[in-house]
Amino acid sequence: MWPAHTLRIGLATTCITLSRCLQLGAAMAKSKFEYVRDFEADDTCLPHCWVVVRLDGRNFHRFAEKHNFAKPNDSRALHLMTKCAQTVMDELEDIVIAYGQSDEYSFVFKRKSNWFKRRASKFMTHVASQFASSYVFYWRDYFEDQPLLYPPGFDGRVVLYPSNQALKDYLSWRQADCHINNLYNTVFWALVQQSGLTPAQAQERLQGTLAADKNEILFSEFNVNYNNEPLMNRKGTVLIWQKVVEVKTKEIKLPVEMEGKTMTVTRTRTRPVPLHCDIIGDAFWKEHPEILDEDS
């Protein structure tokens, strides 16, 4: 018989050996290189904030030149941008509204989204890559006679907005930017294309002019009422989720005696629908209260 204390030492030794085995097991599962994971920066977006990802075309001035975009607005290019934004909203999670103009698009994620644990880099890179691949994928649907000459790129940024008012002000800022640029470009290109001014002369002519002056030039010299210009050009594009009734014609497979007959099938789907309306005033937000809903 072993004395009691020998038994205790024996048990203790077994416990130490077991714990060494477990440590070794853990070490084998987690290679010695595992520590490099700690170098990854934490980029979790602050809770309860609206997460906005804004994309902007890389060097699109040159891209537009090379691909013969119409001036001041190329509706093919604008519709392609919107198609890409719709694809982003369809493919990714939790986007409640998007706003686009020119070569930029902003996407707003739900305040309470927990997609990819709210990591900013995941939001931004998923939006940018999905958008850019869509731009190439759908190019031919919008530019039938114009081949894509080189791959376009988009930069992205993430901005957090802690209140509904700040988010609305952000979107208003982008729409005001759309208006300012479009009014300028409309007069600028009228002066170049219709009055034969060089770009430098047109720029000089417009230097220091106010919105009213530009409207006056358009009206008196080109007989253009700026307010009658297409809404898409003046307001940009807002994408919101709306119920859409889709009607499809289907051929009936069976029964045999009815072969070849067609029938129409309707179904309701929620889709990202483009609107070209004012989002600066209150009317839009009153009409669509679900966008800023607390639970969104």
Residues of this chain that bind Mg ion (CB under 5 A): 56-57, 60, 103
Query: What is the smallest separation between the CB atom of 68 and Mg ion, expressed in angstroms?
Result: 18
Closer residue to Mg ion in complex, CB, 58/112: 58
Closer residue to Mg ion in complex, CB, 188/226: 188
**In the β-sheet with 104-109, what is the strand arrangement from edge to edge?**
154-161, 50-57, 104-109, 95-101, 237-251, 262-275
CB of 276 closer than 8 Å to CB of 182:
no
Closer residue to Mg ion in complex, CB, 60/135: 60
Is 172 annotated in a binding site? The answer is no
- What phi, psi does 9 have (nearest 5°)? -60, -40
Q: Is 48 exposed, middle or buried (0-12, 13-18, 19+ CB in 10 A)?
A: exposed
Query: What is the smallest separation between the CB atom of 154 and Mg ion, expressed in angstroms?
Result: 8
C-alpha 118/C-alpha 109 separation (Å) is 10
Burial code of 134-163, b = ≥16 C-beta within 10 A, e = fewer? bbeebbeebbeeeeeeeebebebebbbbee
Is 102 annotated in a binding site? The answer is yes
Residues 6+ away with beta carbon under 8 Å from 179:
234, 235
Closer residue to Mg ion in complex, CB, 113/182: 182
Query: What is the smallest separation between the CB atom of 75 and Mg ion, expressed in angstroms?
Result: 18
Is 59 annotated in a binding site? The answer is yes
Query: What is the smallest separation between the CB atom of 35 and Mg ion, expressed in angstroms?
Result: 40
Quickly tell me which residue has 């477990």 as its tokens.
Answer: 22
Closer residue to Mg ion in complex, CB, 94/103: 103
**The two structure tokens encoding residue 131:** 């958008």
Query: What is the smallest separation between the CB atom of 50 and Mg ion, expressed in angstroms?
Result: 23
C-alpha 296/C-alpha 285 separation (Å) is 14
Query: What is the smallest separation between the CB atom of 134 and Mg ion, expressed in angstroms?
Result: 17
- Angle separating helix axes 164-193 and 211-222, nearest 10 degrees: 40
Closer residue to Mg ion in complex, CB, 191/236: 236
Is 58 annotated in a binding site? The answer is yes
Is 157 annotated in a binding site? The answer is no
Q: Is 146 left (phi over 0), alpha (psi -120 to 50) or beta?
A: beta
**Which residue ranges are tagged as binding site for GTP?**
56-61, 102-103
Q: Which residues are annotated as a binding site?
A: 56-61, 102-103
Per the annotation, binding residues for Mg(2+) are 56-57, 103
